Amino acid sequence: MATTKARRTNERFYDAYLDFDCQLCELLGVEKDGVQAYRMRMKEAWYEAKELIPEWESIDQRLEVIRERYQVLKQGKSKFDDVHGKDEDVVWIQIFRERLDAQADPLAKYSKLSFEKKKKDKGIFQKLGKLFK
């Protein structure tokens, strides 16, 4: 039986995703679903990090898309012969894995930043005191 192009693309994606997920599991110290654990850590980060790391949102969105594609294939909701995506997902995973190795991913960048809680001037006396300092 001849293998279709869509099937080969999906198989490459599936294998790349499994390796990627295992790498994230090891990195984050979780037993399964490393991609979801990475996304959860991103969501727990300070809001200011999302402004300081420009690729933050796009990476979170891409992780969500590839995880959904993997879940569709894994749960058998669709056949491997159906078209789900392109090889660019596999390339993106490979590039992101290189960034993980180089500690150039968003969470690695975030861990190098420091944040301070901003104090709010609550009352009028604090605001006046600040003016006269």
Taking only the tens place, the pLDDT of each residue in 53-78 is: 889 999 999 999 999 999 988 888 77
Q: What is the pTM assigned to this prediction?
A: 0.77
* Reported confidence tier of residue 130, pLDDT bands at 50, 70, 90: low
Give CA–CA dist 85/66, Å, rounded.
Answer: 9
Report whether pLDDT(95) > 90: yes
Q: What is the pLDDT of residues 20-59, one digit of tens each?
A: 999 999 999 999 999 999 999 998 887 777 788 889 999 9
Report whether pLDDT(121) > 60: no
Which domain covers residue 98, as residue numbers? 5-131
As for how many domains the chain has, the answer is 1
CB hemisphere CA count around 17 (13 angstroms): 27
Higher pLDDT, 51 or 133: 51
Q: Would you state the pLDDT for residue 118? A: 44
Type of residue found at 73: L
Q: Would you state the pLDDT for residue 6? A: 83
Report whether pLDDT(1) > 50: no
Q: Would you state the pLDDT for residue 124? A: 66
Give CA–CA dist 54/105, Å, rounded.
Answer: 11
Report whether pLDDT(119) > 90: no
